[in-house]
A and B are shown apart, each in its own frame.
Chain A
Amino acid sequence: MRKGPPRLIVRTLAVTFSTLAVILLVVFVVLTVDVRGRVRAAETDKLRAGARLFSMLEARRQQDLAAVVSTLTENPTLKAALETYFAESRFSGLTQDQETALRRTVRIEVEKLASLTSANVIALLDTDDRVFTAAGPAQRAWPDGLRVTIAPMPGGSGQGVATVPGGAFRVTGAPLRLDQADIGTLLVGTSLDAAYAGQLAELAGASVVITVEGKPVASTLPPELLAAFTESAEGERRTLLGEEHAVRTLFDAGVARIYALNSIDAATRQATQSALLTLATIALGGIALAAIGSLWLARTLTGPIDRASRTIAAMTAARDFARPLEPTGSSRELDALTEAFNHLVDGLRAAEAESRTASIGAIRALAAALDARDWYTAGHSERVSTLSVAIGRQLQLGEAEIDVLRLGALLHDIGKIGVPDEVLRKPAKLTSEEFEYIKRHPALGARILRLVPFLAPHLPLVELHHERPDGRGYPFGLHAEQIPRTVAIVHVADAFDALTSARAYRPGRPAPEAMFELHRCKGAEFDPAIVDALDLALPGVAADLRHEPALRQLLGKATA
């Protein structure tokens, strides 16, 4: 079975919602791209600013260290011992005792300094950059007499890199001055190793790479990233294994360099995620609002249509087209449709009226036929109709039922058209054979009326008005419960009139007598309730019987 077309509200909703949703999605995508770009730029700036700040702080720290080292060199004993050592050994040579005494004096001073600082090594160099003495955890890498290579950092800040066979050290140094001349150098050194890299990394909040002669010697980067790191690339940004990093040179002494790296991608990722989360929430909220809005819009559009169709359905069900459909004012199209509908209804009603007229015409024709055939039966039909209506009103039947009663009772003996004259007008009692003819008239009447569809409600009154509650009626021998009430009414009215009317073979009986007869036979032959109702209604009817007969009215013979 094919499904019907979708409901209008569903369609409207789909259209409006999908439009809004598409717009929202486009906006969302555009915003996302924009936000990503902005966040990246902001994070990069932040990283750069952070790196700059750290560089400045580091520079400051180194400056302070240089000041400290310079202060350390202001040691009279140190200078005196060193100068005496070299001057005298040059002039006349030193004795063993003297050499030992002087060396030890110097060494004690240097060891005191080593205990004050947290450096890896404190070394005293002579004017040829040879180690005179060294103290500190890394002193073994600085044996006495070793020639140390110092590469100063440009800018004259006292910083540089000292290379010894055991490794490279970042050093801050100051000369020992004696009367405008330098007699030696005091170095405070930090080994360029993993521990130092770790320290710097913690302070800077970045990854650190230390290179000596172009090769990385220590780093806090993971090995794969370190492998991708090269010194040659220029600029502040570098891509390692697809991740972009902000790079800053913390220290450059030519032979050794220290770099700080921050992953822009990692920083951006976090910030972007939170931004996107916010955007997504807003988007979802927007879509929800769009849904509600579309729903409301759809309702506003389809509501009046829906109501109109319901009203029409109700009108059709009740067959009540008396009142026109009210225009809702919600849209021009709908009002135009409403108007068109009202025109249609008017047209239909006109057509219906026409057909009713035609139908009335048909009934008139039938009535005329009956009237032409048998004047007596016509009068009888009128009276039965009046009586039936009175009984009906007494029993408080609805107007529709009374209409059916009125017309049905009027036509109840129409079948008598088919009964031969000699039988119908026979003055004497009928023979059983002749009676059989008479008994045909309900079925005949029904056959005639069946040709007129709109007379279908009146059919039972014509066909069954000779049925009896005890089942001894004709043509079907129905029982009480099978006989419709209107049919029973016509049966009683018919019987009453037959009793009170004059016949060729007997006079008419007075009403009370007729009533007595009816009461006597009620239950078996007549419905008791209807007989009682007739009894009650009779006084009011008597007057009516003398009024303009309904049939005459129908034929237009009397003036209304």
Chain B
Amino acid sequence: MKQSAATLPLVVAALALAAAALSLQVPAAATQAGDAVIGGRVEIGVPITTRRALAPYPARSVSPDSLAPPSELRHVVVYLRDAPPQPGLAAMKAEIRQHGETFVPRVVALTRGSEVEFPNEDPFYHNVFSLSRAATFDLGRYPTGVRRRIRFDRPGLVKVFCQIHSHMSATVLVFDHPWFAVPDEAGRFELRGVPTGQREVTAWHERLGDTTIEVSVGAGRSVAADFVLPVPKQP
């Protein structure tokens, strides 16, 4: 048994090395081959407000500007689908303010282990809770000026709500890889250092649905992926 005890650390070390080599291999291969980039544009067709047939009262308007298509681009997340989990991700910090009975911003994309702060900027109480598998929490009710935070340690989609104001919601997409992006005002996005091979890129919007495009990522090459998000069904 002395023999197995002695060899065990060696095996572990060898395995660790192999794993490290493997894990490094991919980016190493990428960097070796130059940056594989997936870039493109996201377009949205029409305003996304969908009215149901039975709607006796008009929409409770909070900020009409946010309904305009250009601003909705902020709520799109383009990400690499089925990407392998990456260790050692840089944690990000984000802030989702409670302002004018709305979560601002409504969509945040983060890496695993990032923290989000929820400051209450309204002159009344707010609450932050979620029933999502990736993060089930309730920050309680807190008044104006108070900030509470939560760390997202698991990847997935987290929908956040307010117990007091039922129309409020926000989405936090937690990824365990770095290949995600939110398009700019012009709709442009870039995913850098994407692992090569057949990849699927998805443009996600909470209302407009997902659109997935298959791309072939070659080493050191730039691939274009343009998205036109579907026009919603008219009521």
Contact = CB atoms under 8 A, between A and B. Distances in A.
A2 to B, nearest CB: 95
A108 B53 CA distance: 25
A90 interface: yes
A233 to B, nearest CB: 30
Given A76-B166, A172-B54, A187-B54, A84 B67 contact: no
Contacts of A177: 59-60, 167
Contacts of A76: 161-166
A83 B162 CA distance: 13
Nearest to B156: A92
A51 interface: no
A181 B131 contact: no
Contacts of B159: 80, 83-84, 87-88
Contact of B53 (A81, A98, A152, A181): A152
A150 interface: yes
Given A177-B60, A181-B48, A181-B207, A83 B55 contact: no
29 contacts: A75-B166, A76-B161, A76-B166, A80-B130, A83-B161, A84-B131, A84-B132, A87-B159, A88-B133, A88-B159, A91-B204, A98-B133, A150-B54, A152-B53, A156-B56, A158-B56, A172-B56, A173-B52, A174-B55, A175-B54, A178-B166, A178-B168, A179-B167, A180-B49, A180-B66, A180-B67, A181-B50, A185-B52, A187-B54
A75 B59 CA distance: 16
Nearest to A184: B52
A67 B57 CA distance: 9
- The secondary structure that dominates the A interface is mixed
Given A91-B156, A127-B50, A179-B62, 11 more contacts: A76-B161, A79-B166, A80-B130, A84-B130, A87-B206, A88-B159, A95-B133, A158-B56, A172-B54, A177-B60, A182-B52
B59 A88 contact: no
A128 B216 CA distance: 35
Contacts of B49: 180-181
Size category, B interface: 35 or more
A66 B168 CA distance: 22
B2 to A, nearest CB: 46
Interface in B27-69: 48-57, 59-62, 66-67
Contacts of A90: 209-210
Nearest to A173: B54
Contacts of B50: 127, 181-182
A244 to B, nearest CB: 37
Nearest 6 pairs of A and B residues by beta carbon: A158-B56, A173-B54, A76-B166, A175-B52, A91-B157, A80-B161
B211 interface: no
B98 to A, nearest CB: 13
Interface of A: 66-67, 69-70, 74-81, 83-84, 87-88, 90-92, 94-95, 98, 102, 105, 127, 150, 152, 156-160, 171-175, 177-182, 185, 187
B169 interface: yes
Contacts of B132: 84, 88
Interface of B: 48-57, 59-62, 66-67, 102, 106, 129-133, 156-157, 159, 161-169, 171, 204, 206-207, 209-210
Contacts of A158: 54-57
Q: Count chain A CB atoms within 10 A of each CB in B50, B51, B54, B157 and give the residue with the most.
A: B54
A79 B168 CA distance: 10
Contacts, number: 116
B55 A175 contact: yes
B131 to A, nearest CB: 5
Given A87-B206, A179-B167, A174 B131 contact: no
A90 to B, nearest CB: 7
Contacts of B157: 87-88, 91-92
Interface centre among A75, A175, A185 (most CB of B within 10 A): A175
A102 B131 CA distance: 8
Given A76-B162, A79-B166, A88-B159, A179 B106 contact: yes
A70 B56 contact: yes
Contact of A171 (B54, B106, B166): B54
B57 A70 contact: yes
A158 B56 CA distance: 4
Contacts of A88: 132-133, 156-157, 159
Nearest to A85: B131
Contacts of A81: 131
Contacts of A74: 166-167
Contacts of A185: 52-54
A159 B56 CA distance: 8
Contact of B171 (A69, A70, A87): A87
Contacts of A98: 133
A77 to B, nearest CB: 8
Contacts of B48: 181
A94 B210 CA distance: 17
B56 A179 contact: no
Most chain B beta-carbon neighbours within 10 Å: one of A81, A84, A185 = A84
Contacts of B209: 90
A465 B161 CA distance: 159
Contacts of A156: 55-56
A179 B171 CA distance: 12
A252 to B, nearest CB: 16
B78 to A, nearest CB: 14
A150 B53 contact: yes
Contact of B51 (A157, A159, A182): A182
Contacts of A95: 133
A81 B206 CA distance: 15
